[in-house]
Structure 1
């Protein structure tokens, strides 16, 4: 079978979707299929770093089956950075390759992602299968997608796959349709033997409990929660925390205790071989994500390595972890509860070892041999869907008025959230008082906005702008912005000289400068200077020291 796998995400900025696509391609090839992967590719140059907020691309070899679709841009989405193609070149290459490839089936990963996945859904030359990876509970972006025609677009898919119940919920809630849940796969033969990674512990105390965190420095991954929990844990028991995917500077920004930092190793980005070694060497994998996780591939990889998991009780993770059996689920955003569970596991090594054995057994249900076979079954069903004899019916399927999978129509429906309900703390009277306080703060905010508008003289500003030459307005605005960038740059250089041991970022100083100037211009007294100092102190993680 000739198969085209389409990914909208940059191949050089490795993420969960592309790791899934790469493993799927290699297993499908191993099963005798001819596979091509169509995905963007960012070369390692200065323009790439500029388009991705300064983040350098991974130095990854280009596999023979990959067809590059041009550059991408880093966009903030779902609490993370999505590296998506937004250039016409990518869509043009995609269409040309699909038409020339004579494929039996086209498999689009994350169809809602613009623009490649969206465009590939409408390919008329072969059945198109879509895999939905994301858990997206937010109303506004999904409704915008529907206003752009998402439901009709996804009706053109001959089959829909969801990687978890959380991803299926997203599809049913916003787009409707029929979904088959097929999880992300894991390679059970990838973990090295335990004796092969014994050197990772080096000269550390054998009684130390080795914890592992895998993830980028993104808010939804919950690293600050883990650092707060580890800070308390390290005071009571010997423990070591290894962090993969996050640079040391980002760890220092969130943790001020130098004694605790001595027990933390931040490795940054590592290759797959080193990641598997760390998974095997760890006693526990910690996954304290706050939300937005659809599946959690690192959990199944920890299971394959025989490592139990302590994870947040959120949608996506509950599909993988059985609480108390192969891991422990805790409320998200609760560092005290996380520290308590880790403390219990330190004092109960037999329980921890038993969960590790059961985790390895749980990994069997995610083995790639099973997952690839299930996906091939979806391909076979998609290619066997009969073509309507009626010309009108064929036209309706082609434009998405009628679902192309031939199954009964399932409309989008309002469903209860798969996330567990939040734990209410405090008394009912206290919660009411907090709501009243928030409402009062909102009223004060509106009043300050009106005060600022009156102080600026918004009416006279608008009147002057209408009467002025628009070209001069643009020139004046450009000069003002340029002066603020220069001001932020000089402040950055001064701070870098005064704080040589701190990891400073220019964008923090730029945003703080603009906020400070706005406050000084609109509010009474000179609040801009202390405001920007407080912002920078908070951003570099040393509020009290600086």
Structure 2
């Protein structure tokens, strides 16, 4: 059985907003295209993509931001968008349609619930179910019946799916493009980097409080770069209170993110909860930064013993972790980089293509 040559990948979230799902969708599209697999990306409408791809990208339906797992999800609620997306997939002559977060409405529902002989595969990212899953269990089970295979990006995401529906998923984790990240010359004053949406769940306030406390206690010179934006932007600026060691650079693109990772001494991932897998940790390791992360399920899985963990929402413990990180040896950082290599997008693409072929063989 040969691998499919035409694959449609569906993201329920707009591709102009940074997020784990969006980065996986775009990264996989680049890997498939590099292998000669024609790839179509379907998503809600939005602005400039967070990163480039040579795949064809079609976007349908205006976005609304709805609360989801402590964050805001940029989705479309337009039935017309779902219908148009299905027609685009039909016109593309996709052999496989790969849905990321199949439970999230709405752009993929026309294809998912329509009459089709195409193979449907679903990847589940969410960590933590909540009341919405309990209230919509009949719909969720209907979605599952339309999938030929279920994949989860972490053990926690698989547990969330199992708890909500009783269904099992193969855990493949996420992947990233190792070759896109490199260690660059670092400034003499160590740089600590926070990258993420400015909302409570992401723990940006913890990073600021830790560094302000560090300076108040007379710690060595450091610089904190805060990269992102979101509903808490004004609060975080007030919390920083004009501290000259803290720089806000706003929302950044993919190229600037990789540059900042490559020039930072320490990457801080401070989420309080709700991370199914800490891909950012691996990007930091691949860039030669020491990685400090809150001790939560998704981050612990990705760290594999190569990040310094701290108690969530605890600036004092984060200061301790930063101290340890700044003392890491080159050998420890090299070991972390080797650990990151195991999570390559190439490996993940091989696994997905095997799943597609298994689904074909069962038909």
Who is 1:318 aligned against?
300
Who is 2:88 aligned against?
97
In 2, Cα distance between the equivalents of 1:14 and 1:213? 14
In 2, Cα distance between the equivalents of 1:187 and 1:152? 34
Matched, 1:40 2:29: no
RMSD: 2.0
Matched, 1:357 2:334: yes
- Alignment match of 1:88 (pick from 71, 79, 82): 79
Who is 1:213 aligned against?
194
Q: Which structure has the higher relative contact order (CA within 8 Å, separation 6+)?
A: 2
CA deviation after TM superposition for structure 1 residue 6, in Å: 0.9
Matched, 1:377 2:346: no
Matched, 1:337 2:349: no
Matched, 1:6 2:10: yes
> Are the equivalent residues in 1 in contact too, given 2:279–2:302 (CA < 8 A)?
no
In 1, Cα distance between the equivalents of 2:281 and 2:111? 30
Who is 1:254 aligned against?
239
> Are the equivalent residues in 2 in contact too, given 1:213–1:242 (CA < 8 A)?
yes
1:333-482 equivalent positions in 2, closer than 5 A: 333-346=313-326, 348=327, 351-386=328-363
Matched, 1:186 2:176: yes
CA deviation after TM superposition for structure 1 residue 88, in Å: 2.2
In 1, Cα distance between the equivalents of 2:307 and 2:52? 35
- Alignment match of 1:21 (pick from 1, 22, 25): 25
State the secondary structure of the residue aligned to 1:89.
helix
TM-score (norm 1): 0.62
CA deviation after TM superposition for structure 1 residue 42, in Å: 2.5
> Are the equivalent residues in 2 in contact too, given 1:121–1:154 (CA < 8 A)?
no
> Are the equivalent residues in 1 in contact too, given 2:82–2:108 (CA < 8 A)?
no
Cα pair distance change 1:121/1:84, threshold 3 Å = same
Which digits, 9 at most, give the CA deviation of each residue in 1:345-364, with x for residues without a partner?
Answer: 33x3xx34333111110111
Matched, 1:69 2:52: no
Cα pair distance change 1:363/1:60, threshold 3 Å = closer
In 2, Cα distance between the equivalents of 1:266 and 1:352? 29
> Are the equivalent residues in 1 in contact too, given 2:75–2:105 (CA < 8 A)?
yes
> Are the equivalent residues in 2 in contact too, given 1:99–1:125 (CA < 8 A)?
no
Stretches of 4+ moved more than 6 A in 1? 57-62
- In structure 2, runs of 5+ residues without a counterpart are none
State the aligned residue count.
354
1:214-293 equivalent positions in 2, closer than 5 A: 214-235=195-216, 236-246=219-229, 249-256=234-241, 258=242, 261-293=243-275
Which digits, 9 at most, give the CA deviation of each residue in 1:33-81, with x for residues without a partner?
Answer: 11111111225xxxxxxxxxxxxx7787785511121311111221111
> Are the equivalent residues in 2 in contact too, given 1:307–1:360 (CA < 8 A)?
no
1:481-492 equivalent positions in 2, closer than 5 A: none
State the secondary structure of the residue aligned to 2:300.
coil
- In structure 1, runs of 5+ residues without a counterpart are 44-56, 387-546
CA deviation after TM superposition for structure 1 residue 288, in Å: 1.2
> As a proportion of its length, which structure holds more strand?
2
In 2, Cα distance between the equivalents of 1:62 and 1:286? 28
Who is 1:126 aligned against?
118
Who is 2:280 aligned against?
298
Cα pair distance change 1:313/1:62, threshold 3 Å = closer
In 1, Cα distance between the equivalents of 2:35 and 2:54? 18
State the secondary structure of the residue aligned to 1:111.
coil
